[in-house]
Amino acid sequence: MNRPRLSIVVPCYNEAACLDMLHARVTGAARAAVGEDYEIVFVNDGSRDDSWPVMQRLAAADPHLVAINLSRNHGHQLALTAGLDLCAGEEILIIDADLQDPPELLADMRETMRAQGADVVYAVRRRREGETFFKKLTAAAFYRVLDRVTDTPIPLDTGDFRLMSRRALDALLSLPEQARFIRGMVAWIGFRQVPFAYDRAERHAGETKYPLSKMIRFALDAVTGFSTAPLRFASHVGLWLTGLSLLLILYIAFGWISGSAVQGWTSTMLVVVILGAVQMFVLGMIGEYLGRLYVESKRRPLYLVQDVAGPVRGQSTLGY
Ligand code: UDP
Ligand code: MG
């Protein structure tokens, strides 16, 4: 296969207002890095705005650009997977469409890759501009909790903005799972990975495409994908509660023997309510894993392509 030296992969959901500026800046950064030997892969993740027509217009004018229109909104991580699966570059830059991650950092990231002989250069957010206090707080908490419960060390405060070598990307694409938490999966593959600190900018236009519901789902995919700690937690709680109920049985037996039992509506209700809550919680956690097991067992393709504008050079293995 005739591979370009560089692929830049961008998942886009309702980003029409960002695309022109994005295309210009990414093109500038790519040219500065590798001359003409690059491709840009835009993935339209079922946008409801004009993203697709804008992409078609850009692709018609730029032979470096390939735009992929997914059949519907598959979600950030799967849209990104589609782009990675269909790109062909020797080096791959993953970047968000909203220009929060400056494309101009490409030069320094490549430099770091060369200097350190790395397969992955991942960008670590030193500061985050223009994001709400709530977003920063939940993000900070998320990465720290994740770090505690996962068996794979996943770098803190790191998004998907990163530069990868072809062999690292091929390793990543060999993981077939549906529930994809890509920054964790990249950490899992190993090879030599080095951090690259940067300040995260504000969105160029529009608003975040990650409402709370998507954030929660994302967090659950991350935890369940990389840790069985919640299941272990369930068995620990079970063990402690068993110990506690043994004590309780002794206490009840004592009351029965000494004839002092009766009263006790309050304590009974407390036990019922607490046990009920704990059981529901633990069941729910088991359900999270079971549901994912079910989804994985169906072995559906990870994404469906509806239209393509421009030359697709990669060989798809995960989509349809
Ligand atoms: N995105 C996507 N599909 C979705 C949600 C988001 O492709 O369902 C893209 C979005 O267009 C952007 C990237 O994922 O390029 C990150 O989203 P966003 O910037 O809204 O997240 P934030 O930076 O607020 O965490
Ligand atoms: Mg963003």
**Residue 261 confidence (pLDDT) above 80:** no
Q: What residues does each domain of the chain span?
A: 6-132+156-210, 228-298
Q: How confident is the model at residue 130 (pLDDT cuts 50, 70, 90)?
A: confident
Q: What is the mean pLDDT of residues 233-244?
A: 79
For residues 283-304, b (16+ Cβ closer than 10 Å) or e, as one string?
eebeebeeebeeeeeeeeebbe
Rounded to the nearest angstrom, the distance between the alpha carbon of 307 and the centre of ligand 1 is: 21
Highest mean pLDDT (candidates 80-84, 96-100, 238-242): 80-84
- Residue 211: C-alpha distances to residues 2, 17, 275, 305 (Å): 40, 19, 33, 25
248 versus 62: which is more confidently predicted? Answer: 62
Rounded to the nearest angstrom, the distance between the alpha carbon of 269 and the centre of ligand 1 is: 46
Q: Is 128 in the pocket of ligand 1 (CB under 6 A)?
A: no
**Residue 147 confidence (pLDDT) above 70:** yes
Quick one: CA dihedral 111, 114, 117, 120, positive or negative?
positive
Ligand 1 atom closest to 79 (CA): 7
Q: Is 119 in the pocket of ligand 1 (CB under 6 A)?
A: no
**Residue 234 confidence (pLDDT) above 80:** no
CB 21 within 8 A of CB 271: no
Q: Is 11 in the pocket of ligand 1 (CB under 6 A)?
A: yes
Q: pLDDT at position 98, please?
A: 92
Round the average pLDDT of the chain to a whole number and report it: 89
Rounded to the nearest angstrom, the distance between the alpha carbon of 79 and the centre of ligand 1 is: 10
Q: How confident is the model at residue 24 (pLDDT cuts 50, 70, 90)?
A: very high
Q: pLDDT at position 226, please?
A: 80
Q: Is 13 in the pocket of ligand 1 (CB under 6 A)?
A: yes
Residue whose CA lies nearest to ligand 1 atom number 16: 96
Highest mean pLDDT (candidates 166-170, 255-259, 290-294, 312-316): 166-170
Q: Is 96 in the pocket of ligand 1 (CB under 6 A)?
A: yes
- In the block, tokens 């509806």 appear at 306
Concatenated DSSP letters for 226-271?
H--HHHHHHHHHHHHHHHHHHHHHHHHHHHHHHT-----HHHHHHH
Residue to mutate (ligand 1; options 47, 200, 210; most atoms within 8 A of CB): 210
Which stretch of DSSP H or E encloses residue 123? strand 120-128
pTM, rounded to two decimals: 0.83
Q: Is 29 exposed, middle or buried (0-12, 13-18, 19+ CB in 10 A)?
A: buried
Neighbours of 218 (CB within 10 A): 17
Q: Is 208 in the pocket of ligand 1 (CB under 6 A)?
A: yes
Q: pLDDT at position 257, please?
A: 84
Q: What is the mean pLDDT of residues 140-144?
A: 88
Ligand nearest to the CA of 207: 1
Q: How confident is the model at residue 69 (pLDDT cuts 50, 70, 90)?
A: very high
Residue whose CA lies nearest to ligand 1 atom number 25: 210
45 versus 269: which is more confidently predicted? Answer: 45
Ligand 1 atom closest to 97 (CA): 15
Q: How confident is the model at residue 90 (pLDDT cuts 50, 70, 90)?
A: very high
Rounded to the nearest angstrom, the distance between the alpha carbon of 110 and the centre of ligand 1 is: 24
Q: What is the mean pLDDT of residues 96-118?
A: 94
Q: How confident is the model at residue 95 (pLDDT cuts 50, 70, 90)?
A: very high
Q: What is the mean pLDDT of residues 71-90?
A: 96
Q: pLDDT at position 142, please?
A: 87
197-215: per-residue pLDDT in tens?
888 888 888 888 888 889 8
Q: pLDDT at position 2, please?
A: 82
Pick the CATH number of 6-132+156-210 from 3.40.50.300, 3.90.550.10, 3.40.50.2300, 3.90.850.10: 3.90.550.10
Q: Which percentage of the chain shows pLDDT scores above 70?
A: 99
